[in-house]
Amino acid sequence: MRTLQVDLGERSYPIYIGGGLLEKAGDFFEQHQQSTKSPVLIVTDDHVAPKYLPVVETSLQAKGYRTVSKVVKAGEKSKSLDVYEEVMTTAIEGGLDRRSAVVALGGGVVGDLAGFVAATYMRGVTFVQMPTTILAHDSSVGGKVAVNHRLAKNMIGAFHQPEMVLYDVDSLQSLPPRDVRAGLSEMIKHGLIWDAAFADWCREHTADLLALDPEALGYGLTQGCSIKSQVVSVDERENGLRAILNLGHTLGHAIEAIGGYGEFLHGEAISIGMAAAAKLAVNRGRDPQIYKQTVSILSGFGLPTAMPAHLNEQDVIGAMMHDKKFKEQTMVFILPLAIGRVEIVSDVTLDEVRQVIAELKEEGQHV
C-alpha cells in the first residue's frame, strides 16, 4: 500500500492506495473515527453497489458501526438537486447525527454528490472517499463537491475535504473500457499541466494502462493523486494556482451541459477541451508541436479530440458563458506553454473560442 498526504494544516488527510482496501474499510474507519460509533451513510450507485457495497457494509459493521446505504442511479444525471434531496432524506430517516460520517463509494459522480451532502448535512459532517474509478483519483482529492444545474456544471457546491481517501485499486478491474479511457483523460491532464516526464510515461504506457495492468495503474494513480494534492496544498480554494487543474474544463463543462449530462462522459469532454486549449495556445503563437503532441497522446488512448459536428457553436458558447470562469466578455482559459507547463490566461475572447470550435470541427472531418 502507498500512502500520500494532502497537506492542509488541520484539514490534512491521507490517501491510501492499494489492493484489498475495501475489505479493511472498518479498520481504516476506526483509525480515523475512533471517538464515535454514530451511524454511517454509504452513498453509492447501482453499478457499484452489487459489486462492492456488501464488502464495505460488512467491514464497517464488524467494527460496530451501524450503516445506512443509499444507492443512486449510475451516471452524471444523479449529480442533481433532486437526488441530493433523496440522499438527505435517507440521512435524516437513518438517524445520522453530527458525529456521523458520509462515505462516497464509487466514481466522481457519487463522490461529488455524497461530498455535497456531507458538507451540508447539519451544516457539515465527516466525509470519507472510497473511489472506485480511475477518474476518481482526481475527484476524490481536493474537497471540491457539487451537484449540477441544468444550465451549468458543478454550479451548486462547496469545498469540503475528506477525512481520508481509501483507494482500492482492485475495484478498477471491473470498470467498462469507456470509463477506463475517460478516467485516464484526467491522469494525462495531470502530466500535461505539471510534469512532462509523467505525460511521457503515460504515452509510453498507453497499452498497459488501457489493459488495467496493476503495476502501471498503481504508479499512474499515485502520480496523479500526488500532483493533485501538491496543487491543492498550495491553493485549497482556487485563488490562483489551483485553476490549472481546470485545463480543458472551460469548454469541456459546456460540452457536458449541452449534451444533457449523459451524451459525453466528463473525461471525454475534457479531452476535447484539452485539445481546444492546445489549439488556442498555438493560435496565440505557441509552438504548433504543443497541439500535435496533445492530440497524439489523447487519441492514443482512444479519447476524442475533435469537436462533434452536431454541437451547435452558439449553444457551446452560451453554455460557456454560464461557467465559473466567464468574466464580462472574456474567458479564463488554462493554456499550455509546453507539455508539462501551463499558464492561466484571462483575456480569451469569444471570437477566439469561435475560431477554435470551427477548427476542431474541421479536424473531426479528418478522423
Ligand X SMILES: NC(=O)c1ccc[n+]([C@@H]2O[C@H](COP(=O)([O-])OP(=O)(O)OC[C@H]3O[C@@H](n4cnc5c(N)ncnc54)[C@H](O)[C@@H]3O)[C@@H](O)[C@H]2O)c1
Tell me the binding residues for NAD(+).
108-112, 132-133, 144, 153
CB of 63 to ligand LNCXM5UN, least distance (A): 31
Q: Which stretch binds ligand X (CB under 6 A): 117-125, 171-179, 195-203, 302-310?
A: 171-179
* Residue 2 three-state SS: strand
For 306, what's the count of Cα atoms within 13 Å in the CB-facing half-sphere?
Answer: 12
135 binds, among ligand X, ligand LNCXM5UN, none (CB under 5 to 8 A by kind): ligand X
CB of 272 to ligand LNCXM5UN, least distance (A): 14
CB of 354 to ligand LNCXM5UN, least distance (A): 22
Q: What are phi and psi of 262, to 5 degrees?
A: -175, -35
Alpha-carbon distance of 69 to 82, in angstroms, equals: 17
Taking CB under 6 A as the rule, does residue 271 contact ligand X? no
- Is the CB of residue 191 less than 8 Å from the CB of residue 198? yes
Alpha-carbon distance of 243 to 239, in angstroms, equals: 8
Nearer to ligand LNCXM5UN, 68 or 251 (CB): 251
Please report, for residues 186, 187, 200, 275, the alpha-carbon distance to residue 204 in angstroms, rounded to integers and kept in the order given: 16, 14, 6, 19
Q: Which stretch binds ligand X (CB under 6 A): 63-71, 73-81, 288-296, 314-322?
A: 73-81
Sheet of 2-6, strand order: 2-6, 13-18, 164-168, 126-131, 101-106, 40-45, 67-72
Taking CB under 6 A as the rule, does residue 246 contact ligand LNCXM5UN? yes
With a CB cutoff of 8 Å and minimum separation 6, the contacts of 262 are 75, 76, 77
Q: Which of residues 100-159 bind ligand X (CB under 6 A)?
A: 106-110, 112, 132-133, 135-136, 138-139, 142, 144
Q: Which residue is nearest to ligand X (CB)?
A: 108
Taking CB under 6 A as the rule, does residue 245 contact ligand LNCXM5UN? yes
Cβ count within 10 A of residue 157: 18
Alpha-carbon distance of 169 to 218, in angstroms, equals: 7
Q: Which of residues 128-147 bind ligand LNCXM5UN (CB under 6 A)?
A: 138, 142, 144
Q: Which of residues 21-50 bind ligand X (CB under 6 A)?
A: 45, 47-48
| The three grid cell numbers given for residue 128, joined into one nine-digit string | 470519507
Nearer to ligand LNCXM5UN, 23 or 235 (CB): 235
Q: Which stretch binds ligand X (CB under 6 A): 12-20, 167-175, 215-223, 287-295?
A: 167-175
One-letter identity of residue 186: E
Q: Of all helices (H) and strands (E), which one includes residue 260?
A: none
Q: Which of residues 179-198 bind ligand LNCXM5UN (CB under 6 A)?
A: 186
With a CB cutoff of 8 Å and minimum separation 6, the contacts of 93 are none
Alpha-carbon distance of 183 to 186, in angstroms, equals: 6
Q: Which stretch binds ligand LNCXM5UN (CB under 6 A): 12-20, 243-251, 284-292, 353-361?
A: 243-251
Task: Give the relative orientation of helices 249-258 and 313-320 as an angle to the nearest 10 degrees.
Answer: 120
182 binds, among ligand X, ligand LNCXM5UN, none (CB under 5 to 8 A by kind): ligand X
Q: Which stretch binds ligand LNCXM5UN (CB under 6 A): 43-51, 192-200, 217-225, 239-247?
A: 239-247
Please report, for residues 112, 123, 157, 161, the alpha-carbon distance to residue 119 in angstroms, rounded to integers and kept in the order given: 10, 6, 9, 9
Catalog residues that contact ligand X under the rule CB under 6 A.
45, 47-48, 51, 74-76, 79, 106-110, 112, 132-133, 135-136, 138-139, 142, 144, 171-172, 174-175, 179, 182-183, 186, 266-267
Catalog residues that contact ligand LNCXM5UN under the rule CB under 6 A.
138, 142, 144, 153-154, 186, 238, 242, 245-246, 249, 324
